[in-house]
Amino acid sequence: MSLQFPFEYERISPTETLFYPMVTFQIKTVAGWWKMKFLLDTGADFTTLPDSLLPIIGVNPGSLPKVETIGVGGIIVPVRRFRLPLRVGNEELVIQANAVETRGKFSPALLGKKDLFESKFSLTIDSKARLTRIWKN
């Protein structure tokens, strides 16, 4: 299995544009499998979702352990750790994930390394082809 995702771009100033390696996987919700875009974050250990998605995936936030993780710049961020059913192409797996409290503000879903890129899948960010490639090991 090999998956390819074209880069997405956003203008950050009148003269500058940045690319974002976005991938689309499916998460299991109370209503079945749902397509979701993730920002591929090679610096993130864990996949992180906004806590507002927890009821949609059938998880009671109050039942989850609260832990602390260290964010960019050493900032300590409280999160709730849970198991996320994920479909990568046609492969179903369950990964460790964190839910971060967003207080109604937008927060992208971040795809981290844990349970995905340690041994199951390989990754290439190909700037020449402007693609993110993921394939099963």
Q: How many CB atoms lie within 10 A of CB 120?
A: 14
Q: What is the pLDDT of residue 8?
A: 94
What does the block give as tokens for 117? Answer: 């890129």
Q: Is the pLDDT of residue 137 over 90?
A: yes
Q: Tokens representing 29?
A: 């919700």
For residue range 25-51, list pLDDT tens digits in order. Answer: 999 999 999 999 999 998 899 999 999
pLDDT of residue 33: 97
Instruction: List CB contacts of 31: < 8 A, sequence separation 6 or more.
Output: none
Number of structural domains found in the chain: 1
Contact present, 136 and 1 (Cβ < 8 Å):
yes
The span from the CA of 12 to the CA of 62, in Å, is 38
User: What average pLDDT is seen over the chain?
Assistant: 92
Alpha-carbon distance of 99 to 130, in angstroms, equals: 30
- Looking at the chain, the whole-number percentage of residues with pLDDT higher than 90 is 76
pTM comes to: 0.88
CATH number of residue 117's parent domain: 2.40.70.10
What's residue 113's pLDDT?
Answer: 94
- Assess contact for 48 and 112: CB atoms under 8 A: yes
* Mean pLDDT, rounded, for 107-112: 91
Portion of the chain with pLDDT greater than 70, in percent: 100
Which residues span the domain enclosing 98? 2-136
What amino acid occupies position 17? T
Assign 122 a pLDDT band (cuts: 50, 70, 90). Answer: very high
DSSP result, 76-122 = EEEEEEEEEEEEETTEEEEEEEEEE--TTS----EE-STTTTTTTEE
At 50, list the tokens.
Answer: 């906004």
